[in-house]
Amino acid sequence: MATAPLLNAQVAVPGKLSLRVELIGNEIANARSVQVRTEIKNVSGQDVSLLLSSPQDDFTFTVVGPDGTLAAMTRRAEARPSTVPNGSHILVTLPPQQAITRICSLSDIIDFSRPGTYRVAVSRRFEAINETQVSNTIEVKIP
């Protein structure tokens, strides 16, 4: 879901995990099908346990539209519950230097109906290790 811009946020101290986002396909996307791949990587020297649900629930997607304001959410995304039901998570142990990738259809949650360049970043709070990570920023061009 869209939140306050995190595109220029910095993580002050290197953490146990890193977060990355990339566009699936080329940077010119179809407004009806914008898909991204997120990667959570354990950059520490020890196992890290984390809870996973759906990508739409695990991550905060910050999308700035062509006009420099936050892009609107789709009606479908607005109708989603704001909390994840109990029992909807799985516990995963991520060994050192290993990664988990997830695919998310951003066009299901963000309205890409206006042409132009959108900037996308992802963030996530990892409660178990008291860490918040912010990804790189990518551009999505809608003709």
Domains and CATH numbers, the chain: 17-142 (2.60.40.2970)
- Distance between CA atoms of residues 41 and 21, nearest Å: 11
Share of the chain above pLDDT 90, in %: 46
pTM, entire model: 0.79
Say what the pLDDT of residue 90 is: 81
Strands 35-42 and 138-142: unpaired
Q: How many angstroms separate the CA atoms of 81 and 84, rounded?
A: 7
Q: Are strands 90-94 and 48-52 parallel, antiparallel or unpaired?
A: antiparallel
Model confidence at 8: pLDDT above 80: no
From 137, 108, 106, 111, select the one nearest 122 (Cα to Cα).
137
Per-residue model confidence as pLDDT tens digits over 42-96: 999 999 988 887 666 778 889 999 999 999 988 876 766 555 555 566 888 999 9
Higher pLDDT pick, 27 / 131: 131
pLDDT band at 2 (very low <50, low <70, confident <90, very high): very low
Summarize the confidence of residues 95-107 as an average pLDDT.
93
Give CA separation, 43 vs 15, 19, 54, 91, 115, in Å: 8, 10, 22, 18, 37
